[in-house]
Chain A
Amino acid sequence: MNKLNLNNEMITSCRNYAKSIAKDVQAYINKHSTVSVERTVLRLLGIDGVDKFDVPIVNRLVEDVKENGDISLGISIYIASALKATNKSLNDYLEAYFDSRDSLTSYNLISKSEVKKILKPYYEKNLKKITKNREIRSKLINKFGERKTELYVIVATGNIDEDVLQAQAAARAGADIVAVIRSTGQSLLDYVPYGKTTEGFGGTYATQENFKIMRQALDEVGGELNRYIKLVNYASGLCMPEIAAMGALERLDVLLNDSMYGIIFRDINMKRTFIDQYFSRMLNSYSGIIINTGEDNYLTTSDAVLEAHTVTASQFINEAFAFEAHLPEKLMGLGHAFEINPNIENSFLMEIAQAQLSRELFPNAPLKYMPPTKHINGNIFRAYQQNALFNIVTNLTEQKIHLLGMMTEAIHTPFISDRYLAIKNAEMVQQSMKSLADEIVFKEEGFIQKRANKVLKNAHSLLKEIKTEGMFKTLEKGVFAETKRAENAGKGLDGVFEKSTNYINVVSAELEAYFNEN
């Protein structure tokens, strides 16, 4: 596909810069781990549930080692040593653990090879379950097929039962993908809430049980409609890898998983985020979950005309980080958005240029295209028109994951009718303009080609600058979304630690081995 007459050398050069930027950070990541990475290991050994104060057991165990042992060795060795010393199964040990007051650190530490041997049956069981989920997903998608452009809507009632009703209604109306928006503030919790929940604000808590309930509901309605309905949730936050593990176990299909969103939009410490996103993306890759990145958000705080190149540069960086985590292109749902002020002359042409640019730069990625949000106001009729324009660009530039804009975006989280009308809007455009993309070429050196090439050129300069300065400095300067974040500030830094030379993480070792083979 080449409608924009892009400079291929410049594209290659962008990729090289991004790769080197990611590699620099990766060198740091490789030497470190976090409390949420360790909790994820426990989850994949099969540990779940909460204590009588509603504290997740995985948090209790990791805190125990952090306080009484040497967490730089990783949690794996402590749990394996405890099992060996007590000669108990994991379940029996945990029961005893909560009855007694013996710390997880009270046993003689065993050798690395023994750790692996003892824990293998536990993690293998869960990794197998994940593999099984991957197979079920492919089988169902093969059976039912998949739309070229998939319609994506959100539910956000705060109550999982209500979400189920609305998600099923959306699927019946024609949605292919349903995202359950998380409750305000969940991304800042350094634990994952437990069990079914019916009370949230601006969204519903992401819990494993809620995942399961929604998965079941979507499978049910999908079976009825002969379609596979994809389920989305959000990993970005303080528990990125844990959510990735839970999503894998409950067969989510898409996870918001941006290498920088948490840093920029939730003030989570950058080291914490980079380490977490790595393990989390490895799990996504293993489980066949598509990641969605959050570049679109930059344009809610920055000007979409002037800062368009930051989106492109960030897409290259997110891609490079994803490659580091062994994620194949077909799972990279890189983000971009239709966020230019519609009152600007030829803004529609600029939107086409940007969307087509993303398409051509990442031809194999299931791009996630976001609707207008920032320039939507309370005039719902105007908003409906803006969304139609957006739907046309989506179609014209052949995007994959099409987030539908809501006419009430500026007012509330969507009503059932808002969602329905949005789906019908998109379907009319899809149907009536089905072959438009095939028919359209852009004028040589015309407005659209020029705009796209300019954005690419600016992205290239920016990537070059970032490569020289390094990622951490770049974030300190506020290059993305005009939001400045300091290297050692932000939430969750106290959960980061350097790995000892004897560090062991049985799950990541297993995943690495798997990726090397495949």
Chain B
Amino acid sequence: MKIRPYGDTLNDGLVQVSFTLPIALSAKATQAAKELAKNMGLINPSVVHSEEIGKNFSFYIIYGALNAFVDLEKIKVKELEKSSKSKKEIEEIIKNNFKKDIVVIGASTGTDAHTVGIDAIMNMKGFDGHYGLERYQGIKAINLGSQVSNEDFIKIARKEKADVLLVSQTVTQKDVHLKNLVDLVELLESEELRDKVILIAGGARINHELAKELGYDAGFGPGNFAEDVASFIIDELLNRKED
């Protein structure tokens, strides 16, 4: 099926865009904004609002029709097959399949000081009514908090004989998170630990596809809770057991 944006009629392709240009507002500047909209592929763009927002800066809101469409059949995404089980089901599976507690270590790494995300997954209290991993029978959850260096993270993982590593990254400006996430993979590889753990990343700007690309086993963005992560972990552990 081919689709394009919907304004108020099927296939009208209507969209809105807004942006700032680094020039003062003038007839020429407004025309420039309009030309840009055309270059974006908008048909009949109309600058519905323009405003000077500081010396040599002007702001535009534009509506126009998009000529482009996408063919849904051709779109492939690496989506994590969510097998989400309930906390109870997960605990049951662990009890029946694993002799020891599954050791899960998590941290917000590098210089990142955001803990709410990793806490949401790991701490007793959990998030939005979903209990965290600490409350799961059969899981030993160790949350190291924030600003943990990759080196320390690995040291502790080794000491605790971790089965799973959870990494949270929130600050993404200038792609700091990418470097930090890749560094961890490289360090794990050089210490010959990468294959011994399930490595999972998460955060507001993380998704499964990105995480896979960076060499992680999975990635979780907003809207995911402990049971989603735990489900993935046990599925993966069971898979690896069979291999």
A residues neighboring B (CB under 8 Å): 158, 168-170, 172-173, 184-185, 188, 201-202, 265-267, 300-301, 374, 377, 410, 412-413, 415-417, 420, 483
Question: By the criterion CB–CB under 8 Å, are A188 and B173 in contact?
Answer: no
Q: Using a CB-CB cutoff of 8 Å, which residues 40-55 of chain B contact chain A?
A: 53-55
List the 9 closest pairs (A to B, CB-CB), nearest first: A169-B54, A185-B111, A420-B53, A417-B20, A202-B173, A184-B111, A172-B54, A201-B176, A417-B59
Question: By the criterion CB–CB under 8 Å, are A169 and B173 in contact?
Answer: no
Residues on the B chain within 8 Å of A170, using CB: 54
With A and B bound together, what is the CA distance between A412 and B171 in angstroms? 9
Q: Given A184-B112, A416-B20, is A169 in contact with B147 using a C-beta cutoff of 8 Å?
A: no
Q: Given A267-B145, A417-B20, is A184 in contact with B176 using a C-beta cutoff of 8 Å?
A: yes
Question: By the criterion CB–CB under 8 Å, are A169 and B116 in contact?
Answer: no
Question: B207: shortest Cβ distance to chain A, in Å?
Answer: 13
Question: By the criterion CB–CB under 8 Å, are B174 and A158 in contact?
Answer: yes
Known contacts A188-B111, A417-B18, then 18 further A-B pairs from the complex at CB < 8 Å, ordered by chain A residue: A168-B54, A168-B55, A185-B111, A188-B147, A201-B173, A201-B176, A202-B171, A265-B113, A266-B147, A267-B147, A301-B116, A374-B116, A377-B222, A410-B204, A412-B173, A413-B173, A417-B19, A420-B54
Question: By the criterion CB–CB under 8 Å, are A169 and B57 in contact?
Answer: yes
Residues on the B chain within 8 Å of A266, using CB: 113, 147
From A169, A185, A417, residue with most partner B Cβ within 10 Å: A417
Question: A447: shortest Cβ distance to chain B, in Å?
Answer: 26
Q: Is B115 an interface residue (CB 8 A)?
A: yes
Question: By the criterion CB–CB under 8 Å, are B147 and A201 in contact?
Answer: no
Residues on the B chain within 8 Å of A374, using CB: 116
Q: Given A201-B171, A410-B204, is A267 in contact with B53 using a C-beta cutoff of 8 Å?
A: no
Residues on the B chain within 8 Å of A169, using CB: 53-55, 57
Question: A423: shortest Cβ distance to chain B, in Å?
Answer: 9
Question: By the criterion CB–CB under 8 Å, are A267 and B146 in contact?
Answer: yes
Question: By the criterion CB–CB under 8 Å, are B59 and A300 in contact?
Answer: no
| B residues contacting the other copy or chain, number (CB 8 A) | 23
Question: B150: shortest Cβ distance to chain A, in Å?
Answer: 14
Question: B43: shortest Cβ distance to chain A, in Å?
Answer: 25
Residues on the B chain within 8 Å of A201, using CB: 111, 171, 173-174, 176
Q: Using a CB-CB cutoff of 8 Å, which residues 48-86 of chain B contact chain A?
A: 53-55, 57, 59
Question: By the criterion CB–CB under 8 Å, are B20 and A415 in contact?
Answer: yes
With A and B bound together, what is the CA distance between A83 and B205 in angstroms? 56
Question: A57: shortest Cβ distance to chain B, in Å?
Answer: 25
Q: Can you list 8 residue pairs at the A/B interface with Cβ under 8 Å?
A: A158-B173, A172-B55, A184-B111, A201-B176, A412-B173, A420-B54, A420-B59, A483-B115
Q: Using a CB-CB cutoff of 8 Å, which residues 94-112 of chain B contact chain A?
A: 111-112
Q: Using a CB-CB cutoff of 8 Å, which residues 1-60 of chain B contact chain A?
A: 18-20, 53-55, 57, 59
Question: By the criterion CB–CB under 8 Å, are B112 and A416 in contact?
Answer: no
Question: By the criterion CB–CB under 8 Å, are A416 and B57 in contact?
Answer: yes
Residue on A with the closest CB to B148? Answer: A267
Question: A476: shortest Cβ distance to chain B, in Å?
Answer: 15
Partner among A412, A413, A417 whose Cβ is within 8 Å of the Cβ of B53: A417
Question: B37: shortest Cβ distance to chain A, in Å?
Answer: 16
Residues on the A chain within 8 Å of B173, using CB: 158, 184, 201-202, 412-413
With A and B bound together, what is the CA distance between A202 and B222 in angstroms? 20
With A and B bound together, what is the CA distance between A412 and B174 in angstroms? 11
Question: A475: shortest Cβ distance to chain B, in Å?
Answer: 15
Question: By the criterion CB–CB under 8 Å, are A300 and B116 in contact?
Answer: yes
With A and B bound together, what is the CA distance between A266 and B111 in angstroms? 10
Question: By the criterion CB–CB under 8 Å, are B171 and A301 in contact?
Answer: no
Question: By the criterion CB–CB under 8 Å, are A184 and B171 in contact?
Answer: yes
Residues on the A chain within 8 Å of B112, using CB: 184
With A and B bound together, what is the CA distance between A223 and B222 in angstroms? 46
With A and B bound together, what is the CA distance between A155 and B55 in angstroms? 17
Question: B80: shortest Cβ distance to chain A, in Å?
Answer: 20
Q: Using a CB-CB cutoff of 8 Å, which residues 173-199 of chain B contact chain A?
A: 173-174, 176
Residue on B with the closest CB to A185? Answer: B111
Residues on the B chain within 8 Å of A168, using CB: 54-55
Residues on the B chain within 8 Å of A412, using CB: 173
Residue on B with the closest CB to A420? Answer: B53
With A and B bound together, what is the CA distance between A416 and B18 in angstroms? 12
Question: A238: shortest Cβ distance to chain B, in Å?
Answer: 12
Residues on the B chain within 8 Å of A173, using CB: 53-54
Residues on the B chain within 8 Å of A483, using CB: 115
- 0 or 1 for each of B98-136: is its CB under 8 Å from A? (1 = yes): 000000000000011101100100000000000000000
With A and B bound together, what is the CA distance between A170 and B111 in angstroms? 29
Question: A15: shortest Cβ distance to chain B, in Å?
Answer: 32
With A and B bound together, what is the CA distance between A193 and B199 in angstroms? 35
Residues on the A chain within 8 Å of B145, using CB: 267
With A and B bound together, what is the CA distance between A267 and B145 in angstroms? 9
Residue on B with the closest CB to A415? Answer: B20
With A and B bound together, what is the CA distance between A301 and B120 in angstroms? 10
Residues on the A chain within 8 Å of B19, using CB: 417
Question: A377: shortest Cβ distance to chain B, in Å?
Answer: 8
With A and B bound together, what is the CA distance between A172 and B24 in angstroms? 13
Residues on the A chain within 8 Å of B115, using CB: 301, 483
With A and B bound together, what is the CA distance between A377 and B146 in angstroms? 22
Question: A331: shortest Cβ distance to chain B, in Å?
Answer: 27
Residues on the B chain within 8 Å of A415, using CB: 20
With A and B bound together, what is the CA distance between A417 and B171 in angstroms? 21
